[in-house]
Structure 1
């Protein structure tokens, strides 16, 4: 990482570092059952202290946990394996593990501010913007609840306290959190400096089950008849990004950072030996245009990064064919290929976008 950061700075690139991105060390899973144990807090904060001291003045922007709401989905976010976390009756364990992550994040924020006052540290959420299926108040309420369950995580990390609306949810689902003395004070003192999030799609929510379903990013929701979908069923909604940005700004009043946004698509090498991914360019252009509209609305948007610069194996589907990058990698879903790299048309287009800070989107 010393070399990576040095190379970034050599070319005027400011590193944005996520401290934990779905990679619980195996030993902590085997000995602590991941974040299910409070002991993992000390392991994590020892790690963060090392990072902040080593990279003081080198890294200005940190994130604690990638898509922290993934902790309510199971192993991906919690690193816990001694129970089937996909089962409803394991919800108490998932939320207890999440509480330990909240505390660890708050401690890390305080460490960062003390060790490197010039650095900023944020939270990161997988944003699932949802709309009511109809004007029926039951659908509107269902959408509101779905939204609250998504914003709960940032409410804790940005506002520094558990929101009242979760009290009923916890009670109805048999969730009783164990908190140590001083946890609530830590959360209040360890509020993040900015809010970052991933944004790929939106869904609709209904109070009934008679809605056609769409899928995306490990989350299910209703299919919106007004939107087009990707080859993987993710509903493409650039305006939804503007809506999200405005809602976040109204709710939190902290700088916002879109740190993941992109189109997973099947790219093919054309007869001329090139990859013409105009569909990816169109997707990114439309989302950038909506971010610019949000800025005109008054939103404090501090940055934008795409997912991702190079093709990688999809975390959601384990496929190489679901490609996001500006750089093509010659490998198929079975792992066969030369691993040769090749620029797509989107590469030079996005290079131009970066150079103009989003002004030249042609």
Structure 2
């Protein structure tokens, strides 16, 4: 391991969030109802027909009303970038309106101005998981229907024209490769889950490929200097044993995991996937014009979430549950956290190198982090905080591996850990799964003051950024 920082001065040390996770004010100032507003708990637990009681996301942590004080804290943290999303339903409440909602547009103008005044670059996900207008989900079946693409593109054009001089980095979708695992949450597909077969899933993916490519074309037509990516969730896969069959399964699993990134980057379906469609009897509704659009409009950046790695075992059962588990088998060489996610910092260096060798494009790690059950405690000065040494150690281990990958020759432009502050978890719909540098005094039973408290990791990350990574080695 090298013993010095090789991060350059322009590296976007940052942190991440998303609109539905922390904004709250779910029905204020003309905002429409989003998919997340009818998922009160885990996406696996299903939806309600309309927004009902018990959905913590409706209030979230009140960032919508507190953004000025929060952004001031982000400035104290020293962030160079904040990744967040624009709530689609603040701009087009039902998705089909002729004119956008000016109050929503103005909110993000004000937010971006506030970030920029603190020297923080806004990095924007155009629509995060769960943020599709519910109207488009329930009346158009989301991205299972090609009609939805035109409404998405109208939204893209509106926000990019408005914010092109404030936002350089745009991500079209969040973790798009798990849309088949969570069709309603990820893609607004509201049809009976029992009718969603392999063909429907393939069509959802295809329609989102087309939407991504058309969005890239739209964005570049507005401003060629803007940089565009589409985020996935990925990690390396190890063979469970030295058996050749496990090695073969490892290769197939990695290939499947990178399928979406291949299409985003190379602009075409790999031949193995076309053969798979044929073998499974999947017939896509696809046109020559769509294939041309895919080919001509590819990403500038490879952006992804990295939470853990997986193992490959020939003939093993695949997981259709947790989106970050590649197989049901756990790696016996790695520790796991409370959520049974394996902890694998070296895996981040591995995937950085794999992606660099495969695509030769700059990479942006948009999510990666350490979550725990946490409570406030007093520090030596009598101030309330969280002594989250485990977060410091975990993020240090990950960032040291990013540093190693850059030393390997990989081009990495940014790292925005999940998350800048505590807010409502997408996978559980609770506050107890805490990820942030800032503790928010709010709990699953709706109690708490909403006060913000800096955790121990807050000062640590500020020193890492201020030293341009050198503090990682102290």
Global fold match (TM > 0.5)? yes
Whole-angstrom CA distance in 1 between matches of 2:263 and 2:320 = 29
Between 1:106-115 and 1:271-280, the stretch displaced more is 271-280
**Judging changes above 3 Å, is the alpha-carbon distance between structure 1 residues 121 and 323 closer, same or farther for their aligned structure 2 residues?**
same
- The runs of 5 or more residues in structure 1 that have no matched partner are none
Question: Aligned match of 2:189 in 44, 59, 80?
Answer: 80
**Distance in structure 2 (CA, Å) of the matches to 1:338 and 1:173:** 54
Query: Normalising by the residue count of structure 1, what TM-score does the alignment of the two structures yield?
Result: 0.95
The equivalent of 2:457 in structure 1 is 346
- Assess if the C-alpha contact under 8 Å between 1:203 and 1:214 holds in 2: no
1:135 maps to which residue? 242
How far apart are 1:210 and its partner, in Å?
Answer: 8.7
User: Structure 1: how far apart are the matches of 2:143 and 2:312?
Assistant: 31
Match in the other structure for 2:375: 268
Q: Does 1:102 align with 2:209?
A: yes
SS at match of 2:377: coil
* Cross-structure match for 2:413: 302
Distance across 1 between alignment mates of 2:235 and 2:408: 21
Out of 51, 54, 62, the position equivalent to 2:170 is: 62
- TM-score (normalised: structure 2): 0.73
- Is the 8 Å Cα contact of residues 24 and 79 (structure 1) preserved in structure 2? yes
Q: CA deviation at 1:220?
A: 4.8
Pick from 340, 350, 361 the counterpart of residue 254 of structure 1: 361
DSSP 3-state at the match of 1:342: strand
Question: Which of 432, 439, 446 pairs up with 1:335?
Answer: 446
Task: Give the equivalent residue in structure 2 for 1:168.
Answer: 275
Q: Is the alpha carbon distance of 1:214 and 1:66 closer, same or farther for their aligned partners in structure 2, counting shifts above 3 Å?
A: closer
Task: Check 1:207–1:201 CA distance in 2 against 1; reply closer, same or farther (3 A cut).
Answer: same
Question: In the TM superposition, what is the alpha-carbon distance from 1:244 to its structure 2 partner?
Answer: 0.2
Matched, 1:24 2:136: no
Q: Report SS of the residue matched to 2:192.
A: coil
Aligned counterpart, 2:152: 44
Shift of 1:266: 1.2
Which blocks of at least 5 consecutive residues in structure 2 are unaligned? Answer: 1-107
Report Cα offsets for 1:138-177 as digits up to 9, x if no partner.
1112122221221110000111111111123223333221
Aligned partners of 1:216 and 1:231: how far apart in 2? 14
CA contact (8 A) 2:141 2:189 kept: yes
1:202-351 alignment runs, 5 A limit = 202-209=309-316, 216-221=322-327, 222-272=329-379, 273-351=384-462
- Between the aligned partners of 2:433 and 2:412, the Cα distance in structure 1 is 29
Q: Distance in 2 between matches of 1:230 and 1:246?
A: 25
3-state SS, counterpart of residue 396 of structure 2: helix
> Does residue 220 of structure 2 align to residue 113 of structure 1?
yes
Compare relative contact order (CA 8 Å, sep 6+) and give the higher one, 1 or 2: 2
- For residues 104-148 of structure 1, the C-alpha deviation after alignment (integer angstroms, 9 at most, x for no partner) is 111111111121111111121101321110111111121222212
Pair 215,352 (structure 1): closer, same or farther in 2 beyond 3 Å: farther
Whether the aligned pair in 1 keeps the contact of 2:432 and 2:444 (CA below 8 Å) is yes
Matched residues in 2 for 1:345 and 1:284: separation?
Answer: 13
